[in-house]
Amino acid sequence: MPRQLKSPQVNGVGTGQTATLTFPTSGTFRDIHLLYKRAGVVATQAQMEAEIEEIRLNINGKTQQSWTVADLFKHNAFFGTPPADDGFIPIILVQPHRRETAGEDVFAWGMGGVSTFTIEVDFAAGIVPAITLDVYTDWSPITTPLGLILKTRHISQVAVAGVGRLTVPNIDAQQNYLGWHIKSRDFSNLRPKLEGAELVNAPIEVLHKRLEQYGLVPQAGWTHLLADYDRRFGGSFPLAPSKQFPQGPLFEFEVEMSAANSFDMIGLAVGQAD
């Protein structure tokens, strides 16, 4: 059965510092919970979002996921995870929103073949009270291979010259994607294309209504595009190289802008660890 354990002491916790914890490379991890306190008192959500600048999960020295606390909370809420209590930051590696157990557990981080697994937490400068960070894991002693995992791909400040059609640049087209969180609602339509064929062509209200019908929770101020919106394992936007497309297929992420404001995106890539 999974064990809920406190990890060893986190090194480097302090204002303006980067805290680091090295996990054991055995067993299988299902989730990680951070507990953040200020002067012995659990931090509020606003304090966590302001004082923790970034969280990174690294396998073999390469970052697989990186989040701000605010983005992580919205990501969790989109997939139906209840809001965490003050002080707690859940990083859920499995996907409990899936309809079937196999689809949920396939994304667990098994340590088979892994040399190092670390978490890094950047703290903002100028935090006045003494701060502490404890880490708890949902861990199984059975070591499974590190298979498919969720990886984040960030695009910052996509430039928008005006309203109308825009093709998003700099999509990492060497990955398959479950979808994207777009940190804006300034769109009237999404129209991604693969080799010229439309994968989606629908207004935002239709896309979000379908997500809601399947139990997902679109977040205020964000736009979401998900391949596996029905919560069944197996759906993705197939951008990775394949036998048919050795260099990867041509992918064009077209959007219809309703306002000329730049925006950020978080890609939810899925595949082997980088």
* Co-location of 31 and 125 in the same domain: yes
- Same structural domain, 198 and 101: no
Question: Could you please report the per-residue DSSP string of 183-226?
Answer: S---EEEEEEEETTEES--EEHHHHHHHHHHTT--PPTT-EEEE
Q: Is 113 left (phi over 0), alpha (psi -120 to 50) or beta?
A: left
> pTM for the full model?
0.93
Cα angle for residues 93, 115, 31 (degrees, 5° grid)? 15
Given 146, 164, 185, the domain boundary residue is 146
In total, how many domains does the chain have?
Answer: 2
Report the distance separating Cα 185 and Cα 142, nearest Å. 43
Burial 87-103 (b: 16+ CB within 10 A, else e): bbbbbbbbbebbeeeeb
User: CB-based contacts of 125: which residues, under 8 Å, 6+ apart?
Assistant: 15, 16
Q: What's the confidence (pLDDT) of residue 105?
A: 81
Does residue 210 sit in the same domain as residue 139?
A: no
Domain identity same for 139 and 10: yes
User: In the chain, which stretches have pLDDT less than 50?
Assistant: none
Does residue 123 share a domain with residue 161? Answer: no
CB 120 within 8 A of CB 58: yes
As to burial, measured by CB atoms within 10 angstroms (0-12 exposed, 13-18 middle, 19+ buried), residue 188 is middle
CATH of the domain at 30: 2.60.120.730
Contacts 24+ apart (CB under 8 A), 167-170: 167/252, 167/253, 167/254, 167/255, 168/253, 168/254, 168/255, 168/265
> Are both 128 and 200 inside the same structural domain?
no
Q: Are residues 27 and 139 in the same domain?
A: yes
Lookup result for tokens 């400040």: 157
The string of pLDDT tens digits covering residues 164-192 is 999 999 898 789 999 999 999 999 999 99
Secondary structure of residue 18 in the 3-state scheme? strand
pLDDT at 236: 84
